Amino acid sequence: MLVAILIFATALAFIAVERGHRTVVALVGATAVLLTQTIDQETALHAIEWEALGLLAGMMIVVRLTETTGVYTYLAIKAAQAAKGRSFLLVLSLGAATAVLSAFLDNLTTILLLVPITFLLADALDIDPIPLILIEVMACNIGGTATLIGDPPNIMIAGATDLSFMDFIVNLMPIAYLTGLIVISALYFFWRKKLRIAPEARARVNELDARGAIEDPAELRRLGPILILTVLAFFVHKPIGLEPATVALSGAAIMLLVTRQNVEETLASIEWATLFFFVGLFVMVGALEHTGAVEQLANGIVDVTGGDRTAELLGITWSAAIVGGVIDNIPLTATMIPVVEQISAGTGDDAYWWALALGACFGGNMTLIAAAPNVAAAAMASRNGHPIGFVRFLKVGVPVTFFSMFMVTGYILLRYA
Amino acid sequence: MMIVDRLLRDVPLLKVDDTVGDAAKWILASGAPALPVVKRDGRLHGIFGEREFIAAIFPGYVSELKFAGFVRQSLDDAIQRRSGKLLEPVGRFANRERIAVKEDYAVAQLAETFLHHRVLIVPVVDAGRQVRGIVTRSDFFATLVDRASPVPPPSDAG
């Protein structure tokens, strides 16, 4: 057990301080637990959550194929234009567009799509782009919490449980969108002077030609209906007896069948590094589980909380937010899933999963390195001459995370305690 | 004379500290689509050409947009007012892809480089990475066309 813990802790430390590519770190860690025979190969293979990997891969293909049509850019521009140049409405509509898109696309794609458009809007409106971008990042991490496919921690939880898409929506969407609305509004008031739009600049946002964003209308006609059907299928996957990964991969397969895009290029553009990162993590966590370390951690939590359910729920959600915020919410979730399985074993009590999902997803806002969209937005801002450093992000991320977690605490106490 | 000798073009070299504006003037004066950028010790740093100049004078997000078909002419002023990179050092914007070839390069290596990289020139360097000249894509194209053209039949006249 000590070897498994040592290897996992070392890997986590390397990921947290960004020494080496996180995928390489995870794969080396997985190799280490296999070579030291901390876990045998058969068990390691079973430790990999193929459901989560299938769902991720399927959604990556769906998003890659549909984003080339320009439909998401169209939606973002329409959202911005709905504000008619008024700054509060602009912030609200961009924040809402980010939250909704991130609930159905992966968070990284959402940010990669929206940040360049936001820079353009900021130039057109002659305002500081950084408050808008930070608001989008926060909205992205909070909005992604709302659905089963919106954020990697949720995908991982779905892969390990039989919770349905509707379960996630019913339990997570209300608190995610309420928190998002308050956070976006509060950040607007904090930055309102920087976001003030001169009356003469207001009309410029309407000079964007939203229809012109549709890069390939014929491809959109081919893929659009499949995209809609795939999203609808998520809502009813449980009654029709399909796993979320089956829905995602079916949508992806049908899109690949009808698309005119190069299939090999599409498949090559999948984030293989992310998928292999997950594989490495699952094997390392499998070793923790196999050696009994997870059971000890779960027992430790039960001991600390004295077996009090409310204390356990709050302990899981707060530790997920803080630890996930300091390292990375993906390894945190991978570790916590078997712990939560142990704690909630046989009870059929789903509240533990919602506590974990809310903590892990909302914790993604705490630091620059806590979630992939944060890093991507900071890199793009830096390339555009507006660096967002670790401390600058922290000054926004910490208050937002703590406020969000107080909202979550109230929600858990009201709904699940 | 070998094809590789005919392709080598002698051009002025840009230094990493030259400004983007000066670099653009040197490029125009040289007649080449891009020029090598060298470090203070004369070793190759990268290349700077038409594509890099466009990337330098437009805000970074323009190249990050997936598609810019929604931007109308009326927004050009708003976008370009953010420019002002003409006084920044050219070294920051140079293309640092490893595309240089050694003096004994094969024509197939040039073909591979032009096919795999979106560059308009390939620098030719010696063993110490000192620049000996460049090969432009247009010169390479012209030479290939010349080589590939069928030899005209001898004239009956005379």
ipTM, interface predicted TM-score of the complex: 0.72
- Whether B70 sits inside 8 A of A73 (CB atoms) is yes
Report the residue from B60, B70, B82 with minimal CB separation from A209.
B70
Beta bridge partners of B37: B14, B46
Residues of B in contact with A68 (CB under 8 A): 66
Q: Which residue on chain B is closest to A386 by alpha carbon?
A: B60
Q: Distance from CA of residue A260 to its chain's centroid? A: 29
- Residue A128 one-letter amino acid: D
Element (H, E) at A304: helix A293-305
pLDDT-wise least confident of A79-93, A119-133, A179-193, A333-347: A333-347
> Helix, strand or coil for residue B131?
strand
- Whether A113 sits inside 8 A of B66 (CB atoms) is yes
Res A400: pLDDT? 97
- Whether B78 sits inside 8 A of A209 (CB atoms) is no
- Closest to A312 (Cα-Cα) out of A301, A323, A300, A296: A301
pLDDT reading at B157 higher than 60: no
Mean pLDDT, to the nearest integer, of A318-332?
Answer: 86
CATH number of B3-148: 3.10.580.10
Res A344: pLDDT? 84
pLDDT reading at A297 higher than 90: no
Q: Per DSSP, which regions of A288-355 are E strands?
A: none
- Whether A117 sits inside 8 A of B65 (CB atoms) is yes
Contact A121, A349 (CB under 8 A): no
Res A186: pLDDT? 96
- Regarding predicted confidence, which is higher, A303 or A54? A54
- Whether B74 sits inside 8 A of A77 (CB atoms) is no
- Regarding predicted confidence, which is higher, A148 or A201? A148
The mean pLDDT of chain B is 87
Element (H, E) at A410: helix A390-415
Contact B8, B133 (CB under 8 A): yes
pLDDT reading at A365 higher than 90: yes
- Whether A384 sits inside 8 A of B75 (CB atoms) is no
Distance CA(A68)–CA(A399), nearest Å, equals 36
Report the residue from B59, B72, B82 with minimal CB separation from A207.
B72
Q: How many CA atoms lie within 13 A of A191 on its CB side?
A: 21
- Percent pLDDT > 90 in chain B is 57
The mean pLDDT of chain A is 91
Res B84: pLDDT? 64
Whether chain B has a CB inside 8 Å of the CB on A412: the answer is no
Q: Which token pair is A140?
A: 């992205």
pLDDT reading at A296 higher than 50: yes
Contacts of residue B67, defined as CB under 8 A and 6 or more positions apart, other chains included, come to A70, A73, A213, A215
Mean pLDDT, to the nearest integer, of A173-181?
Answer: 96
Res A202: pLDDT? 83
Whether chain A has a CB inside 8 Å of the CB on B107: the answer is no
Res B158: pLDDT? 44
- Closest to A244 (Cα-Cα) out of A347, A179, A166: A166
From A124's Cα to the closest Cα of chain B, the distance in A is 5
- Whether B67 sits inside 8 A of A215 (CB atoms) is yes
Whether chain A has a CB inside 8 Å of the CB on B155: the answer is no
Residues of B in contact with A207 (CB under 8 A): 72, 74-75
- Closest to A208 (Cα-Cα) out of A120, A104, A83, A284: A120
Residue written as token pair 């991978």: A334
Tens digits of residue pLDDT in B37-86? 999 999 999 999 999 998 888 888 888 887 888 887 777 777 766 566 78
Contact A103, A371 (CB under 8 A): no
- Alpha-carbon distance values, B75 to A121, A125, A190, A205, B86 (Å): 10, 10, 29, 9, 21
Q: Which residue on chain A is closest to B92 by alpha carbon?
A: A383
Whether chain B has a CB inside 8 Å of the CB on A133: the answer is no
Element (H, E) at B14: strand B14-15
- Regarding predicted confidence, which is higher, A108 or A143? A143
Q: pLDDT band for position B150 (50/70/90)? A: confident
Query: Dihedral angle at the C-alpha atoms of A154, A155, A159, A161, nearest 10 degrees?
Result: 20
From B114's Cα to the closest Cα of chain A, the distance in A is 20
Whether chain B has a CB inside 8 Å of the CB on A116: the answer is yes
pLDDT-wise least confident of A78-87, A115-124, A231-240, B143-152: B143-152
pLDDT reading at B14 higher than 80: yes
For B18-51, b/e burial (b = at least 16 CB within 10 A) is bebeebbebbeebebbbbbbbeeeeebbbbbbeb
Report the residue from B60, B74, B78 with minimal CB separation from A383.
B60
Mean pLDDT, to the nearest integer, of A214-229?
Answer: 95
Pairing of strands B14-15, B34-38: parallel
Q: pLDDT band for position B156 (50/70/90)? A: low
Res A131: pLDDT? 95
Report the residue from A70, A117, A123 with minimal CB separation from B82.
A123
Distance CA(A157)–CA(A361), nearest Å, equals 12
CA geometry: angle at A27 spanning A13 and B96, to 5°?
85
Distance CA(A247)–CA(B148), nearest Å, equals 53
Tens digits of residue pLDDT in A278-290? 999 999 999 998 8
Residue written as token pair 């020029």: B35
Mean pLDDT, to the nearest integer, of A235-246?
Answer: 93
Distance CA(A339)–CA(A85), nearest Å, equals 49
Mean pLDDT, to the nearest integer, of A26-42?
Answer: 95
Q: Which residue on chain B is closest to A210 by alpha carbon?
A: B70
- Percent pLDDT > 70 in chain A is 100
- Closest to A69 (Cα-Cα) out of A213, A165, A170, A175: A213
Beta bridge partners of B38: B15, B44
Distance CA(A412)–CA(A317), nearest Å, equals 9
Distance CA(A349)–CA(A347), nearest Å, equals 5
Tens digits of residue pLDDT in A44-81? 999 998 988 999 999 999 999 998 999 998 998 898 88
- Residue A318 one-letter amino acid: W
Mean pLDDT, to the nearest integer, of A221-241?
Answer: 95
Interface probe for B, chosen from A108, A207, A220 (most Cβ of B below 10 Å), is A207
Q: pLDDT band for position B136 (50/70/90)? A: very high
